[in-house]
């Protein structure tokens, strides 16, 4: 009889291994699933906290950034300067010389502005080849009702101004002296009236009035047809060579710098020696003796405003303040600012203010004049009914006046005489008197008050180097 049974081998090890594999698989799945849920929950918590506290977090970030920037700027301003060499630490020999940063010196890059979404140059000069061929326009017949200007002198007995001496009126605190003559208020009113022949005080009243120039210098000045001029009295500013001119301008234009003996000594101490031909670079140096005013600012108004008296044969003049370097072709400037616009006077407008009354407040605030002398001037202007308008005849009323470009003719010459007399009578701040003269003198209409960006294109602004010395005797 056969045995139908058969044997099956069972291994405990195999069974256990199989069970362990299943268990490990299940454990791994559970662990993975649990970890996924944990991360999701954590992310949700973070998002909820951010949404709850985002304004505070934003404020905290801004505050941290502000503190960082302040500490960075403060650190720069308080950080010690780098060590200097012995040569750099050495002080200049001249006690009044202070070296200034000259980063703007000799720059020729144009100044631009955006107009209608398009960037354009502020001063549109002719191309260089056109400048070389530029010719003066024919001297036009003026349609001004003023045909002749007569300058009052002490030899004219019509006004009976008396025999004054310089010691009485020149340096004892008064403004009028033998250089200016002694204009009365009645004469002032008469000078603004438009007549065929205008009679006016305009400096150079007496041979004893000062502002003496050598005969050799006078001969040179009488030969100038176009002149670019500047001045530095009292050792106040350095001399900056003009740049950017054409070859034609180098032959046709006089560059004249008026100095006194104080400035001459200060510049020579710096190594600026006047050559035997009286030139330093392109500038003809004219040393003026016996200046008529203690206030050097007032002495500076003579070459600034009375170019037609100093250069009697010139057709055109360009005035540049001593704090600036003239950097454009003079003939090109005449074409752009006078001939093209059919103007006879071009002057830089004020960039910050438009009203003479606002300017008066600024002058007092900046200690450019005393409150008392400014009030005397404004009281007279109110009495004369000067309006508070910020524009006269569609033009900005206030001028900055560091650059003056003009044709020498009866109308502009008389205008400058009237302006000079106002500066002598009141404060030396010519910005205060310009709007008054422009408003009251109705004969001058062809005036070009050009914007600040044009002025910046004409010159490199260097700033005043040092304070000018007052005259003491």
DSSP 338: I
DSSP 133: T
DSSP 308: H
Q: How far apart are the first and last CA of the chain?
A: 160
Tokens standing for residue 416: 């400058």
Max Cα–Cα distance, the chain, nearest Å: 177
Which burial class, exposed, middle or buried, applies to 198 when counting CB atoms under 10 A from its CB (0-12, 13-18, 19+)? Answer: buried
Pairing of strands 279-280, 283-287: antiparallel
Q: CA-CA distance, 356 to 442, in Å (whole number)?
A: 18
Q: CA-CA distance, 288 to 266, in Å (whole number)?
A: 15
Q: What is the dihedral of CA 308, 239, 122, 140, to 10 degrees?
A: 20
In a structure prediction context, what are the per-residue pLDDT tens digits for the chain, which is 473 residues long? Answer: 444 444 444 444 444 444 444 444 444 444 444 444 555 777 787 778 777 777 777 777 777 777 776 566 555 444 444 444 333 333 344 433 344 446 789 999 999 999 999 999 999 999 999 999 999 998 877 788 999 999 999 987 665 444 443 333 333 345 899 999 999 999 999 999 999 999 999 999 999 999 999 999 999 999 999 999 999 999 878 999 999 999 999 999 999 999 999 999 999 999 999 999 999 999 999 999 999 999 999 999 999 999 999 999 999 999 999 999 999 999 999 999 999 999 999 998 887 777 888 889 999 999 989 999 999 999 999 999 998 876 666 667 789 899 999 999 999 999 999 999 999 999 999 999 999 999 999 899 899 999 999 999 999 998 766 666 555 54
Q: Where are the domains of the chain?
A: 146-461
Pairing of strands 459-461, 324-326: antiparallel
CATH topology of domain 146-461: Spore Coat Polysaccharide Biosynthesis Protein SpsA; Chain A (3.90.550)
Whose CA is closest to 344, among 271, 415, 258? Answer: 415
Q: CA-CA distance, 274 to 110, in Å (whole number)?
A: 32
SS3 259: strand
Whether pTM exceeds 0.85 = no
Measured CA to CA in angstroms, residue 409 lies from 56, 111, 148, 314 at distances of 72, 31, 9, 10
Tokens standing for residue 234: 């009292």
Rounded to the nearest angstrom, the gap between the alpha carbon of residue 224 and the centroid of all alpha carbons in its chain is 27
For residue 117, the model assigns a pLDDT of 92
For residue 91, the model assigns a pLDDT of 38
């Amino acid at each position: 009889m056969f045995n139908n049974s058969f044997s099956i081998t069972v291994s405990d090890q195999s069974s256990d291994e199989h069970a362990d594999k299943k268990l490990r698989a299940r454990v791994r799945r559970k662990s993975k699933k649990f970890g996924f849920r944990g991360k999701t929950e954590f992310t949700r918590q973070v998002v909820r906290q951010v949404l709850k506290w985002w304004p505070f977090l934003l404020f905290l970030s801004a505050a941290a950034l502000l503190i960082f920037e302040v500490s960075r700027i403060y650190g720069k301003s308080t950080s010690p300067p780098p060590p200097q060499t012995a040569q750099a630490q050495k002080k200049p020999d001249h006690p009044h010389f202070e070296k200034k940063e000259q980063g703007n010196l000799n720059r020729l890059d144009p100044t631009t502005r955006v107009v209608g979404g398009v960037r354009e140059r502020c001063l549109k000069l002719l191309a260089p080849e056109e400048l070389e061929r530029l010719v003066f326009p024919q001297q036009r017949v003026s349609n001004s009702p003023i045909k002749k200007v007569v300058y009052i002198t002490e030899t004219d007995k019509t006004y009976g101004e008396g025999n004054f001496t310089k010691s009485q009126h020149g340096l004892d605190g008064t403004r009028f002296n033998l250089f200016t003559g002694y204009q009365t208020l009645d004469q002032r009113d008469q000078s603004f009236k438009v007549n065929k022949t205008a009679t006016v005080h305009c400096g150079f009243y007496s041979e004893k009035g000062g502002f003496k120039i050598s005969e050799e210098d006078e001969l040179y000045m009488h030969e100038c047809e176009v002149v670019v001029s500047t001045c530095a009295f009292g050792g106040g500013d350095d001399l900056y060579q003009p740049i950017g001119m054409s070859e034609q301008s180098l032959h046709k234009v006089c560059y004249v710098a008026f100095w006194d003996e104080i400035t001459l000594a200060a510049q020579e101490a710096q190594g600026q020696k006047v050559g035997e031909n009286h030139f330093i670079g392109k500038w003809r140096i004219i040393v003026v003796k016996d200046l008529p005013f203690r206030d050097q600012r007032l002495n500076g108004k003579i070459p600034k405003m009375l170019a037609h008296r100093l250069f009697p044969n010139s057709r055109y003049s360009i005035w540049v303040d001593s704090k600036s370097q003239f950097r454009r072709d003079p003939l090109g400037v005449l074409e752009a600012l006078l001939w093209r616009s059919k103007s006879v006077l071009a002057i830089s407008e004020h960039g910050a203010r438009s009203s003479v009354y606002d300017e008066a407040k600024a002058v007092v605030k900046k200690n450019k004049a005393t409150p008392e002398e400014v009030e005397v001037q404004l009281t007279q202007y109110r009495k004369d009914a000067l309006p508070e308008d910020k524009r006269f005849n569609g033009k900005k009323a206030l001028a900055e006046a560091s650059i003056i470009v003009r044709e020498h003719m009866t109308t502009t010459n008389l205008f400058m005489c009237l302006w000079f007399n106002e500066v002598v009578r009141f404060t030396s701040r010519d910005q205060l008197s310009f709007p008054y003269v422009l408003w009251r003198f109705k004969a001058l209409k062809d005036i070009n008050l050009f914007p600040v960006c044009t002025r910046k294109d004409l010159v490199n602004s260097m700033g005043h180097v040092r304070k000018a010395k007052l005259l003491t005797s």
